[in-house]
Amino acid sequence: MKTEFDECLAAKPLQDRLWFNRGDPAFWTILQVCDPRVHLHPPASDEQIHALKNFTGGELPPTLEEFLRHSNGLTFDFDGIVFPIKSIIQQTLELRRLDGTIPNDHFLFIGSLGDGDMFAFVKNKKGDWLSDVFWWEHETDSCYACGLGIWGYVAKHIGWCHAVSDQPSEDPSFRDEVKYRERLRKISGENEVLPGVRRLVTDILELRAKQDWGELTSMDLFREFLSQLTVDDFRKIPIELLLKG
Protein backbone atom coordinates (compact mmCIF):
# COMPACT_ATOMS: atom_id res chain seq x y z
CA MET A 1 0.00 0.00 0.00
CA LYS A 2 1.32 3.45 -0.94
CA THR A 3 1.50 6.08 1.80
CA GLU A 4 1.53 9.87 1.63
CA PHE A 5 5.32 9.56 1.65
CA ASP A 6 5.24 7.58 -1.61
CA GLU A 7 2.55 9.63 -3.33
CA CYS A 8 4.33 12.95 -2.88
CA LEU A 9 6.41 13.23 -6.06
CA ALA A 10 8.06 16.46 -4.86
CA ALA A 11 9.60 14.51 -1.98
CA LYS A 12 11.28 11.89 -4.17
CA PRO A 13 14.55 13.71 -5.08
CA LEU A 14 15.54 14.20 -1.44
CA GLN A 15 14.24 10.75 -0.48
CA ASP A 16 16.39 9.17 -3.16
CA ARG A 17 19.52 11.09 -2.15
CA LEU A 18 19.13 10.03 1.48
CA TRP A 19 18.32 6.41 0.60
CA PHE A 20 21.25 6.11 -1.82
CA ASN A 21 23.64 7.28 0.92
CA ARG A 22 22.05 5.28 3.76
CA GLY A 23 24.53 4.43 6.48
CA ASP A 24 27.31 6.51 4.87
CA PRO A 25 28.74 9.78 6.22
CA ALA A 26 27.06 11.56 3.29
CA PHE A 27 23.65 10.57 4.72
CA TRP A 28 24.27 12.73 7.78
CA THR A 29 25.72 15.56 5.69
CA ILE A 30 22.59 15.64 3.52
CA LEU A 31 20.36 15.64 6.61
CA GLN A 32 22.25 18.60 8.06
CA VAL A 33 22.10 20.77 4.95
CA CYS A 34 18.81 19.79 3.25
CA ASP A 35 16.60 21.93 5.48
CA PRO A 36 17.40 24.25 8.43
CA ARG A 37 14.51 22.77 10.41
CA VAL A 38 16.19 19.35 10.63
CA HIS A 39 17.85 18.88 14.01
CA LEU A 40 20.20 16.03 14.93
CA HIS A 41 20.91 15.10 18.55
CA PRO A 42 24.12 14.02 20.33
CA PRO A 43 24.93 10.31 19.99
CA ALA A 44 23.31 7.83 22.37
CA SER A 45 25.59 6.51 25.09
CA ASP A 46 26.31 2.85 25.80
CA GLU A 47 24.12 3.14 28.90
CA GLN A 48 21.18 4.49 26.88
CA ILE A 49 21.53 1.76 24.26
CA HIS A 50 21.71 -0.86 27.02
CA ALA A 51 18.52 0.54 28.62
CA LEU A 52 16.67 0.28 25.30
CA LYS A 53 17.90 -3.27 24.73
CA ASN A 54 16.67 -4.24 28.18
CA PHE A 55 13.29 -2.70 27.36
CA THR A 56 12.97 -4.60 24.06
CA GLY A 57 14.18 -7.91 25.48
CA GLY A 58 17.77 -7.87 24.30
CA GLU A 59 17.63 -7.13 20.57
CA LEU A 60 17.00 -3.88 18.74
CA PRO A 61 15.45 -3.58 15.28
CA PRO A 62 18.04 -3.76 12.47
CA THR A 63 19.87 -0.43 11.84
CA LEU A 64 18.17 1.36 14.77
CA GLU A 65 21.19 1.06 17.07
CA GLU A 66 23.52 2.37 14.35
CA PHE A 67 21.26 5.38 13.84
CA LEU A 68 20.94 6.15 17.56
CA ARG A 69 24.69 5.87 18.13
CA HIS A 70 25.08 8.69 15.61
CA SER A 71 22.08 10.77 16.68
CA ASN A 72 19.87 10.00 19.67
CA GLY A 73 16.79 11.44 18.02
CA LEU A 74 15.87 13.48 14.94
CA THR A 75 13.34 16.31 14.70
CA PHE A 76 11.87 18.40 11.90
CA ASP A 77 10.58 21.62 13.43
CA PHE A 78 8.58 20.24 16.36
CA ASP A 79 7.88 16.80 14.91
CA GLY A 80 9.75 13.83 16.35
CA ILE A 81 10.87 11.89 13.28
CA VAL A 82 12.94 9.63 15.55
CA PHE A 83 12.50 9.91 19.31
CA PRO A 84 15.43 9.94 21.73
CA ILE A 85 15.74 6.62 23.56
CA LYS A 86 14.05 7.91 26.71
CA SER A 87 11.03 9.02 24.67
CA ILE A 88 10.94 5.76 22.69
CA ILE A 89 10.48 3.89 25.95
CA GLN A 90 7.98 6.41 27.40
CA GLN A 91 5.85 6.65 24.26
CA THR A 92 5.78 2.89 23.81
CA LEU A 93 4.66 2.34 27.41
CA GLU A 94 1.97 5.04 27.14
CA LEU A 95 0.52 3.61 23.93
CA ARG A 96 0.47 0.10 25.36
CA ARG A 97 -1.81 1.41 28.13
CA LEU A 98 -4.39 2.81 25.72
CA ASP A 99 -7.78 1.12 25.63
CA GLY A 100 -9.59 0.38 22.40
CA THR A 101 -6.56 0.03 20.13
CA ILE A 102 -5.13 -2.99 18.39
CA PRO A 103 -2.84 -5.07 20.62
CA ASN A 104 0.54 -3.33 20.42
CA ASP A 105 2.79 -5.06 22.95
CA HIS A 106 4.96 -6.10 20.00
CA PHE A 107 5.34 -2.48 18.80
CA LEU A 108 8.30 -0.19 19.50
CA PHE A 109 7.16 3.37 18.78
CA ILE A 110 10.04 5.43 17.45
CA GLY A 111 8.45 8.58 15.96
CA SER A 112 5.29 10.58 15.37
CA LEU A 113 3.56 12.72 12.78
CA GLY A 114 2.37 15.39 15.19
CA ASP A 115 -1.34 14.69 14.68
CA GLY A 116 -1.52 11.52 16.76
CA ASP A 117 -0.24 9.10 14.11
CA MET A 118 2.84 7.14 15.18
CA PHE A 119 5.65 5.14 13.60
CA ALA A 120 6.94 1.86 14.97
CA PHE A 121 9.08 -1.18 14.48
CA VAL A 122 7.05 -4.37 14.94
CA LYS A 123 7.85 -7.94 15.95
CA ASN A 124 6.36 -10.97 14.19
CA LYS A 125 4.78 -13.94 15.96
CA LYS A 126 8.21 -15.54 16.43
CA GLY A 127 9.47 -12.46 18.25
CA ASP A 128 11.75 -11.27 15.44
CA TRP A 129 11.80 -7.67 14.31
CA LEU A 130 10.32 -7.01 10.88
CA SER A 131 12.56 -4.95 8.59
CA ASP A 132 9.94 -2.26 7.82
CA VAL A 133 8.88 0.72 9.87
CA PHE A 134 5.07 0.85 10.16
CA TRP A 135 2.73 3.84 10.14
CA TRP A 136 -0.03 3.54 12.79
CA GLU A 137 -3.07 5.78 12.15
CA HIS A 138 -4.66 6.68 15.46
CA GLU A 139 -8.10 7.50 14.01
CA THR A 140 -8.61 4.22 12.14
CA ASP A 141 -6.27 2.05 14.22
CA SER A 142 -4.79 0.80 10.95
CA CYS A 143 -1.15 -0.02 10.37
CA TYR A 144 0.93 -0.30 7.18
CA ALA A 145 4.57 -0.33 6.10
CA CYS A 146 6.03 3.06 5.19
CA GLY A 147 9.80 2.58 4.97
CA LEU A 148 12.47 -0.10 4.82
CA GLY A 149 14.36 0.06 8.09
CA ILE A 150 15.34 3.26 9.82
CA TRP A 151 17.14 4.59 6.72
CA GLY A 152 14.16 4.15 4.40
CA TYR A 153 11.75 5.56 6.97
CA VAL A 154 13.87 8.64 7.71
CA ALA A 155 14.51 9.26 4.00
CA LYS A 156 10.78 9.16 3.24
CA HIS A 157 9.65 11.13 6.28
CA ILE A 158 12.23 13.91 5.95
CA GLY A 159 11.73 14.13 2.18
CA TRP A 160 7.98 14.41 2.68
CA CYS A 161 8.24 17.03 5.47
CA HIS A 162 10.61 19.11 3.37
CA ALA A 163 8.40 18.91 0.28
CA VAL A 164 4.99 19.65 1.82
CA SER A 165 5.98 22.38 4.28
CA ASP A 166 5.53 26.04 3.37
CA GLN A 167 8.55 27.35 5.23
CA PRO A 168 12.25 27.50 4.30
CA SER A 169 13.20 25.90 1.01
CA GLU A 170 16.28 23.77 0.52
CA ASP A 171 19.45 25.32 1.91
CA PRO A 172 21.29 26.83 -1.09
CA SER A 173 24.49 25.17 0.10
CA PHE A 174 22.89 21.74 -0.31
CA ARG A 175 23.55 21.30 -4.03
CA ASP A 176 27.11 22.66 -3.68
CA GLU A 177 27.83 20.21 -0.86
CA VAL A 178 26.42 17.26 -2.82
CA LYS A 179 28.39 18.19 -5.94
CA TYR A 180 31.55 18.56 -3.86
CA ARG A 181 31.15 15.09 -2.32
CA GLU A 182 30.39 13.64 -5.75
CA ARG A 183 33.66 15.09 -7.11
CA LEU A 184 35.62 13.54 -4.24
CA ARG A 185 33.93 10.18 -4.85
CA LYS A 186 34.65 10.36 -8.59
CA ILE A 187 38.37 10.98 -8.01
CA SER A 188 39.05 8.61 -5.12
CA GLY A 189 36.05 6.33 -4.78
CA GLU A 190 35.30 7.95 -1.41
CA ASN A 191 33.25 11.03 -0.58
CA GLU A 192 35.05 11.72 2.69
CA VAL A 193 38.55 13.13 3.03
CA LEU A 194 40.54 10.64 5.10
CA PRO A 195 39.24 7.48 3.38
CA GLY A 196 39.91 9.14 0.03
CA VAL A 197 43.48 10.08 0.95
CA ARG A 198 44.19 6.60 2.31
CA ARG A 199 42.87 4.89 -0.81
CA LEU A 200 44.87 7.07 -3.20
CA VAL A 201 48.10 6.83 -1.19
CA THR A 202 47.70 3.05 -0.91
CA ASP A 203 47.24 2.81 -4.68
CA ILE A 204 50.39 4.87 -5.28
CA LEU A 205 52.49 2.76 -2.92
CA GLU A 206 51.23 -0.54 -4.36
CA LEU A 207 51.89 0.55 -7.94
CA ARG A 208 55.34 1.88 -6.99
CA ALA A 209 56.23 -1.47 -5.41
CA LYS A 210 55.23 -3.19 -8.65
CA GLN A 211 57.16 -0.59 -10.70
CA ASP A 212 53.91 0.01 -12.55
CA TRP A 213 53.67 3.19 -14.64
CA GLY A 214 50.12 3.55 -13.37
CA GLU A 215 51.72 5.15 -10.32
CA LEU A 216 51.98 8.39 -12.30
CA THR A 217 48.25 8.40 -12.99
CA SER A 218 47.50 7.73 -9.32
CA MET A 219 49.76 10.60 -8.31
CA ASP A 220 47.91 12.91 -10.68
CA LEU A 221 44.62 11.80 -9.12
CA PHE A 222 46.06 12.43 -5.66
CA ARG A 223 47.08 15.97 -6.61
CA GLU A 224 43.66 16.60 -8.12
CA PHE A 225 41.98 15.26 -4.97
CA LEU A 226 44.00 17.64 -2.77
CA SER A 227 43.24 20.59 -5.05
CA GLN A 228 39.49 19.96 -4.70
CA LEU A 229 39.46 19.99 -0.89
CA THR A 230 38.00 22.85 1.08
CA VAL A 231 40.26 24.45 3.67
CA ASP A 232 38.36 22.75 6.50
CA ASP A 233 38.62 19.32 4.87
CA PHE A 234 42.30 19.81 4.05
CA ARG A 235 42.94 20.46 7.74
CA LYS A 236 41.51 17.05 8.58
CA ILE A 237 44.49 15.34 6.94
CA PRO A 238 47.10 14.42 9.63
CA ILE A 239 49.97 16.16 7.80
CA GLU A 240 52.35 15.53 10.70
CA LEU A 241 52.26 11.81 9.91
CA LEU A 242 53.92 12.52 6.57
CA LEU A 243 57.01 13.75 8.42
CA LYS A 244 57.57 10.45 10.21
CA GLY A 245 59.88 7.74 8.94
**Per residue in 25-44, pLDDT tens?**
888 888 888 888 888 998 98
pLDDT tens digits along 43-95: 989 999 999 999 988 888 888 999 999 999 999 887 899 999 999 998 888 88
Q: In what order do the strands lie in the sheet with 79-82?
A: 38-40, 74-76, 79-82
Residues 4-10 have a mean pLDDT of 79
245 pLDDT band, cuts 50/70/90, is: very low
Q: Which domains does the chain have, with CATH numbers?
A: 4-168 (3.40.1580.10), 175-243 (no CATH)
Decide: 196 and 184 in contact? Cβ < 8 Å: yes
> Global pTM?
0.67
| 178-187 long-range Cβ contacts below 8 angstroms, 24+ apart | 178/17, 178/30, 180/228, 180/230, 181/26, 181/29, 183/228, 184/225, 184/228, 184/229, 187/221, 187/224, 187/225, 187/228
pLDDT tens digits along 182-229: 778 878 888 788 888 888 888 888 888 888 888 888 888 888 888 888
Q: Of 108-112, 207-211, 232-236, which gets the smallest average pLDDT? A: 232-236
**Closest to 102 in 3D by CA, of 72, 63, 142:** 142
- Dist. CA 109–CA 135, nearest whole Å: 10
Question: What was the pLDDT predicted at 101?
Answer: 59
Helix residue ranges, H only, the chain:
4-7, 12-20, 25-34, 46-56, 64-70, 85-96, 149-164, 173-188, 193-209, 214-228, 231-234
To 5 degrees, how large is the angle CA 61–CA 67–CA 69?
Answer: 110
Residue type, 131: S
